[in-house]
Amino acid sequence: MDDVTFIWRSLPELLIGFPGHRPGGMLLSILLAGVSVSVGGVLAAGFGTMSASGQRALRLPATAFVWIIRGVPLILLLLLVHNISSSAALLGTEGTPTRSALIALTLYSAAYFADPIRAGLQSVPPQLIEDATLLGSSRSHTLTYVRLPFAIRSMFPGLTTQAVTIFKDTSVVVVIGVADLTTNAQLVLGADVANSDRWIPLYLTVGALYFIAALVLTKLASAWELRLIGRRSSLDVRPA
Amino acid sequence: MANWLTREALERLVDGLVVTVGLTIVTTFGALLLGGILASGRRSRSRAIRRASGAFVDVFRNVPALVLIIFFAFAVPTTVPQSDRAAVFFDNWLWNNLDGLTGVPIPYYAVAAAAALIANAGAHLGEVIRGGLSTIPAEEIESARLLGAGRFRLWWSVAFPGALRSSFPAVSSRLIHNMKNTALASFVAVPELFHSMQGEITRSFRATEFLALVALIYLGLAAAFSMTLQRVETHLLRGRRG
Amino acid sequence: MKKIHLITLLLVTSLLAVSCGSESATSVSDIVSESATVKIGVRNDNPPLSFVDEAGNWVGFDVDLARAFATELGVEPELVVVDGTTRISFLQDGTVDMSVASMNHTRDRDEAIDFSITYFWDNQSFLVRTGEFTSIEELAGATVAANAGSSTIASWTDYLAHRGLPGPEIVEFSDKLAAMEALRAGAVDGYTEDNITLLALAAGDPSLELVPGGHNPVQFGVGVPVDDSRWRDQVNFTLQGLWTSGTFLEIYEKWFVGEARVLDLPLGGEMEIWP
């Protein structure tokens, strides 16, 4: 079987996973990134608000959280989360490697989004807040409907870049055996001894897949930004 | 001392820590150099150079670091026929000496991992520094040129430091991220800190303890690195201003 | 900045405190008999002992043994997937009552968990490129691969030291496929692991072969929570029951001796039977 046929035959496993272990491959990488970025984003709104707060009791834990999660390699965070949480049944789910990967990536996303959100919150023009208060808006109302949307809008390019980065970072889940694209590439190579000379074509394909996915995600983010803000930022439309 | 943290375990972790620091230093300088080259390449007058730099940045920014490490370590040797592979990559004068010098048993894998990390971080820095370059006022370049500064001097004393200064937070952030990425080299058996930790966990069957300890060490490294970079920014970069 | 350090310290110390598990006075024996179920941790990434076949079924010697164990004990089996780390941590926090997960007894490991009597015998030799080595002594001083933190490392180092042969250059891999690739590419001259693992990894590859002999007779024990003698005794007696009734040999022959065997591994020992 020549190299091209080999790659073609391996595509299903690379893109959506091995039979019985689907979703897997690239599909799983995207799902992992998608879920953790969304949930992490919500958490980050909370942490970002806390670290922008004037009260020390709120600011310090949030800053500590961000600092710890950002200070350790993601691969270590993964193992740590898997070690601690895999015996606990959370919301009816079992402690599988995939669940640990989701938890770790969510915490990771939250920590990486919290800072831009904090910066965004601190850059809200005071006039805007004053106007809202004058119109009778309560503090929490102002936060949710005025400050946070402004913060997110102004930090949007940075946030989406970060999201695409997190998608690429999902490749480290290979270390706890989650069947994502990187892991499946390894498995495809190991499945048959005849494949042992196919490292280059296979990994070129894997690289190309990540590249294409990052490109598509960046374009999507750019289009979303256009809809949301009504103009493109000065950010280069090259993939992140 | 806790009974799980034996003297041998601690020694092995310290050995790993030394490799991590070494790998970080090598890849930091390499990435800065490569980033500078790519950034100026992107602004070159030659269209071919602009495109080549742009392509390099695109490829090496968008392929995950781990995939690059695996590619350089395992895929690249397959370009050489099986019979010559060992002689080129593993068993000749160069590799045997590196082994003796550094104590790393398969030096090629360490070199491959370092190359992958430099390519990845360098590509990111190329983007960042390019942004920094565009903030340097044209007058500054002009006046330096009038004073007789050659192209290299112009770059080294005015453009590069200026770009680094203005993009410093992003540069610092990327370099620290790179330091954490050195843990990925464990996948190709480079004996750095994360790799040592994995060994200890299997030896003693105690995971939580070693994970927590090594997490603390990485936090310490990140803090120390961050402070060092701050110092560099304050003294080296600012000091250059006339 | 100082406050952040304090909080970090607190958070990480509490993580370290988690590791000091709590003691309970009830034995797992009681828990098992009350619930009429035994939770057994088994791997799924370790052919031919425990793996997932092409049809998606969880099969293997360990899997069959675990099920037979439950039957012998008179309870229902509940198999829980474990990996290299959770086969220990699940024992420590009670998620499983026992682990049948290719665990070689070592004194180091005995501090974290306890082991049953030996139920599997193997040796640790080297996988090499075909035709390069005929005995393990020829690998003295060579660069060889081993799994990170494996018992093979200390064993091979001691084996050579005892015979006055040059010390080894051991490269530790955390990924078996990476180690195999290093062997094929010529980065290492041999890969040492449990013979059964090596045979499974090299199955069908004529360019690799297993060097005869071995440097470390391997003894797998069933992992049980630490300091629970009643449960440990029960596990031991149940294993002995499986041996004397012939069930153990049946399962062993199915996987390693009989016509339909997956790998060729003659029985390397005999279970100790206490009268």
Hey, is C70 helix, strand or coil? helix
In this model, does residue B124 exceed pLDDT 90? Answer: yes
For residue C165, being part of any structural domain is answered with yes
CATH of the domain at A223: 1.10.3720.10
Whether C203 and C132 map to the same domain: the answer is yes
Q: Which residue has the higher pLDDT, C9 or B169?
A: B169
What per-residue confidence (pLDDT) applies to C17?
55
* Stretch C185-190: mean pLDDT: 89
- The span from the CA of C107 to the CA of C210, in Å, is 28
What's the burial of A12, exposed, middle or buried (CB within 10 Å: 0-12/13-18/19+)? middle
For residue C113, being part of any structural domain is answered with yes
What per-residue confidence (pLDDT) applies to A230?
67
* Stretch B83-90: mean pLDDT: 81
Residue of A nearest to B76 (CA): A200
For residue A105, being part of any structural domain is answered with yes
For residue A238, being part of any structural domain is answered with no
Whether C52 and C33 map to the same domain: the answer is yes
**ipTM for the whole complex:** 0.87
**Contact C81/A96, CB-based, under 8 Å?**
yes
Phi then psi dihedrals of residue A76, to 5 deg = -75, -40
Q: Which domain holds residue C178?
A: 124-210
The separation between CA A67 and the C-alpha centre of its own chain, rounded to angstroms, equals: 17
What per-residue confidence (pLDDT) applies to A119?
85
Whether C88 and C145 map to the same domain: the answer is no
* Nearest by CB: C16 against B82, B205, B212: B212
In this model, does residue C16 exceed pLDDT 90? Answer: no
Please report the number of interchain residue pairs, chain A to chain C, with beta-carbon separation below 8 angstroms.
58
Q: What is the pLDDT of residues C107-160, one digit of tens each?
A: 878 888 999 999 999 899 999 999 889 898 888 888 999 988 888 898 899 999
Q: What is the pLDDT of residues A33-85, one digit of tens each?
A: 999 999 999 999 888 888 888 888 888 899 899 999 999 999 999 999 988 88
Asked if residues A78 and A172 have their Cβ atoms less than 8 Å apart, the reply is: yes
Whether C200 and C130 map to the same domain: the answer is yes
Please report the number of interchain residue pairs, chain A to chain B, with beta-carbon separation below 8 angstroms.
101
Asked if C83 reaches chain B (Cβ–Cβ under 8 Å), the answer is: no
Q: What is the pLDDT of residues B48-79, one digit of tens each?
A: 999 999 999 999 999 999 999 999 998 888 88
What per-residue confidence (pLDDT) applies to C22?
47
Whether C94 and C77 map to the same domain: the answer is yes
Q: What is the pLDDT of residues C38-97, one digit of tens each?
A: 999 998 878 788 887 766 778 899 999 999 999 999 999 999 888 777 888 888 888 899
CATH of the domain at C107: 3.40.190.10
- The span from the CA of A110 to the CA of A161, in Å, is 14
- The span from the CA of A129 to the CA of C183, in Å, is 65
What per-residue confidence (pLDDT) applies to A20?
72
Q: What is the pLDDT of residues B184-215, one digit of tens each?
A: 999 999 999 999 999 888 888 788 889 999 99
Residue of C nearest to B77 (CA): C185
List Cα–Cα distances, C177 to A165, B203, C173, C191, in angstroms.
27, 20, 9, 11
Mutual orientation of helices A181-190 and A3-15 as an angle, nearest 10°?
Answer: 140
DSSP-derived letter for residue C274 is -
- Average pLDDT in chain B: 87
* Stretch B225-232: mean pLDDT: 92
What per-residue confidence (pLDDT) applies to C234?
93
What per-residue confidence (pLDDT) applies to A77?
95
What per-residue confidence (pLDDT) applies to C85?
73
What per-residue confidence (pLDDT) applies to C23?
47
What per-residue confidence (pLDDT) applies to A231?
58
Element (H, E) at B59: helix B47-62
Whether C223 and C206 map to the same domain: the answer is no
For residue B130, being part of any structural domain is answered with yes
Whether C223 and C102 map to the same domain: the answer is yes
| % of residues, chain B, pLDDT over 70 | 97
What per-residue confidence (pLDDT) applies to C232?
94
For an interface test with B, the pick among C82, C173, C191, C192 (most B C-beta atoms closer than 10 Å) comes out as C173
* Stretch C13-30: mean pLDDT: 63
For residue A239, being part of any structural domain is answered with no
Q: Which residues of B touch A214 (CB under 8 A)?
A: 62
What per-residue confidence (pLDDT) applies to A236?
44
Residue of A nearest to C89 (CA): A83
Asked if residues C143 and C151 have their Cβ atoms less than 8 Å apart, the reply is: no
For residue B203, being part of any structural domain is answered with yes
A218: left (phi over 0), alpha (psi -120 to 50) or beta: alpha
**Contact B187/C148, CB-based, under 8 Å?**
no
Whether C38 and C106 map to the same domain: the answer is yes
Mutual orientation of helices A25-52 and A181-190 as an angle, nearest 10°?
Answer: 150
In this model, does residue A162 exceed pLDDT 70? Answer: yes
CATH of the domain at B164: 1.10.3720.10
**Contact B206/C148, CB-based, under 8 Å?**
no
Q: How many domains does chain B have?
A: 1
Q: How many domains does chain A have?
A: 1
What per-residue confidence (pLDDT) applies to A24?
86
For residue B2, being part of any structural domain is answered with no
In this model, does residue A10 exceed pLDDT 80? Answer: yes
**Contact C16/B209, CB-based, under 8 Å?**
yes
In this model, does residue A194 exceed pLDDT 80? Answer: no
Q: Which domain holds residue B76?
A: 7-240
Q: How many domains does chain C have?
A: 2
* Stretch C1-9: mean pLDDT: 59
Whether C89 and C140 map to the same domain: the answer is no
Whether C56 and C138 map to the same domain: the answer is no
Which structure tokens are listed for B177? 């991220």
Q: Which domain holds residue A46?
A: 3-229
Asked if residues C189 and C133 have their Cβ atoms less than 8 Å apart, the reply is: yes
Residue A12: asked if its preceding bond is cis (omega within 30°), the reply is no
In this model, does residue C4 exceed pLDDT 70? Answer: no
For residue A234, being part of any structural domain is answered with no
What per-residue confidence (pLDDT) applies to B239?
56
In this model, does residue A229 exceed pLDDT 80? Answer: no
Q: What is the pLDDT of residues B129-179, one digit of tens each?
A: 888 888 888 787 788 778 877 777 777 777 888 888 888 888 999 999 999
Asked if C275 reaches chain A (Cβ–Cβ under 8 Å), the answer is: no
Q: Which residues of C touch A86 (CB under 8 A)?
A: 86, 89-90, 95
Asked if C94 reaches chain A (Cβ–Cβ under 8 Å), the answer is: yes
Hey, is A139 helix, strand or coil? helix
- Average pLDDT in chain C: 85
For residue A186, name the pLDDT band (cuts at 50, 70, 90).
confident
For residue A198, being part of any structural domain is answered with yes
Which structure tokens are listed for B209? 């303890």
